[in-house]
């Protein structure tokens, strides 16, 4: 089998000895393709079974193996790629995906249309991290959210996104909200001479996703926020392929079940930094270490690396840590995470005694100089 017609997935799984590991690797290779015991596979179909590499030991009871699959098995379909990658083995205890290479199927994936360079160009910001905050809370009217947006823009924030919980609720319907927020931000931009980017949340059933994205663009949005694990992962690709020509920021809602378990699911760096990137995200939000979520500092650094490292022809994308980031700490996070980062600040802005504008100004100063 030549790599010209294959793709590969790296799995980590439970095994005690090298022969246990080889057995499990063979089981996975069967499960994800012909889904039959080897003895029931006629010789002519054996070519479609995945081909495991040598197994390597990761720890006392964990081994790894890369399985190479023929592209024919996934056909021409991103969803079938996902199925071969992790369909049935997602239900086996202790199996985790720790890497993948789309190989000859790379052209199935649109990849990021903007990436780090594209977003920097839109924001007019080089040589420093970018800042981002979320409009909240659900329940606020479009006027109230627009006022916050205007204040954040005056304060100098680079990107304003909707909270991922803002959809099309009656308190601030999508179209009204986007209109009001764009107007408020443009008014502030006139004062400051800056170009603040606004990313409304377009997460909706995919039947409506592209029309909602087009509506957002026609109303003046600068980018789009989507929660791919809620829409279905291929919605991200649909958006990236659509020619909408706006950067996409992806939110991790509903994705924790894949990414927080040490011994199952998909490594967070691979899931956010490779899978979502291949599918078309230009920036991926993830819960920062030390906040109210699950990841260790090492996992966060791995996510950052995966977002920025060479990966086929896919542009590097912005890791966007959120949680536990405020004016005081952002300097330290800059040192740890580097300039090619979007720092997402949330609750602390909303609690500043001197109000949103001042809070954002102080944060932005720290992002630029801190």
* Residue with smaller CB distance to a second copy, 48 or 56: 48
CA dist 130 and 144 (Å) reads 25
Whether omega for the bond prior to residue 255 falls within 30 degrees of 0, making it cis, is: no
* Residue with smaller CB distance to a second copy, 96 or 120: 96
- In whole angstroms, the minimum distance from the beta carbon of 151 to a second copy comes to 15
- In whole angstroms, the minimum distance from the beta carbon of 109 to a second copy comes to 13
Environment class of residue 292 by beta-carbon count within 10 Å: exposed (0-12), middle (13-18) or buried (19+)?
A: exposed
* Residue with smaller CB distance to a second copy, 195 or 358: 358
- In whole angstroms, the minimum distance from the beta carbon of 170 to a second copy comes to 7
Q: Is 352 a catalytic residue?
A: no
- 70, 136, 161, 274: the catalytic one is 136
- In whole angstroms, the minimum distance from the beta carbon of 136 to a second copy comes to 6
- In whole angstroms, the minimum distance from the beta carbon of 348 to a second copy comes to 8
Cβ-Cβ contacts under 8 Å for 193 (sequence gap 6 or more): none
β pairing state of 130-135 and 159-162:
parallel
* Residue with smaller CB distance to a second copy, 122 or 237: 237
Enumerate long-range contacts of 211-218, CB under 8 Å, 24 or more apart.
Answer: 212/174, 213/239, 213/242, 213/244, 213/246, 214/244, 215/174, 215/175, 215/178, 216/178, 216/246, 217/244, 217/245, 217/246
- 96, 164, 251, 334: the catalytic one is 251
* Residue with smaller CB distance to a second copy, 85 or 119: 85
CA-closest candidate to residue 99, choices 221, 211, 266: 266
* Residue with smaller CB distance to a second copy, 8 or 133: 133
131-to-86, 112, 341, 344, 368 alpha-carbon distances in Å: 35, 20, 8, 6, 9
Exposure string (b/e) for 343-352, b if CB count within 10 Å is 16 or more?
bbbbebbeeb
- In whole angstroms, the minimum distance from the beta carbon of 89 to a second copy comes to 8
Q: Is 251 a catalytic residue?
A: yes
Concatenating the DSSP letter of every residue in 183-233 gives: HHHHHHHHHH----EEE-B--S-HHHHHHHHHHHHHTT-S-EEE-HHHH-H
Active-site positions read: 136, 251
């Amino acid at each position: 089998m030549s790599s010209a017609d294959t793709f590969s997935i790296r799995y980590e799984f439970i095994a005690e000895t090298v022969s246990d590991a080889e057995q499990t690797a063979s089981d996975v290779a069967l499960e994800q393709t012909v889904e039959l015991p080897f003895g029931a596979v006629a010789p002519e179909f054996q070519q479609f079974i995945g081909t495991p590499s040598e197994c390597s030991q990761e720890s006392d009871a964990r081994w790894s193996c890369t399985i190479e699959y023929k592209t024919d098995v996934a056909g021409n379909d991103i969803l079938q790629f996902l199925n071969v990658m992790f369909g049935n083995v997602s239900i086996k205890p202790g199996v985790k995906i720790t890497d993948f290479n789309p190989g000859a199927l790379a052209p199935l994936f649109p990849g990021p249309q903007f990436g780090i360079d594209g977003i920097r160009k839109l924001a007019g910001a080089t040589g420093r991290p970018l800042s981002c905050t979320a409009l909240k809370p659900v329940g606020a009217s479009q006027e109230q959210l627009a006022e916050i947006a205007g204040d954040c823009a005056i304060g100098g924030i680079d990107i304003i996104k909707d909270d991922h919980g803002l959809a099309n609720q009656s308190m601030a319907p999508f179209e009204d909200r986007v209109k009001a927020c764009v107007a408020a931000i443009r008014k502030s931009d006139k004062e400051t001479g800056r170009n603040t980017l606004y990313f409304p949340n377009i997460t909706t059933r995919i039947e409506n996703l592209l029309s909602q994205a087009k509506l957002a663009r026609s109303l003046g949005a600068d980018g789009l926020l989507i929660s791919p694990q809620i829409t279905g992962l291929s919605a991200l690709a649909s958006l990236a392929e659509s020619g909408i020509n706006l950067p996409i920021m992806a939110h991790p809602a509903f994705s924790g079940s894949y990414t927080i378990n040490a011994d199952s699911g998909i490594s967070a760096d691979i899931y956010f930094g490779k899978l979502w990137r291949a599918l078309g995200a230009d920036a991926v939000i993830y819960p920062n270490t030390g906040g109210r979520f699950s990841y260790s500092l090492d996992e966060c650094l791995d996510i950052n690396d995966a977002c920025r490292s060479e990966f086929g022809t896919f542009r590097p994308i912005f890791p966007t840590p959120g949680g536990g980031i405020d004016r005081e700490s952002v300097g330290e996070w800059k040192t740890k995470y580097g300039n090619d980062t979007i720092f997402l600040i949330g609750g602390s802005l909303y609690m500043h005694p001197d109000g949103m504008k001042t809070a954002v100004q102080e944060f932005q100063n720290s992002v630029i100089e801190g």
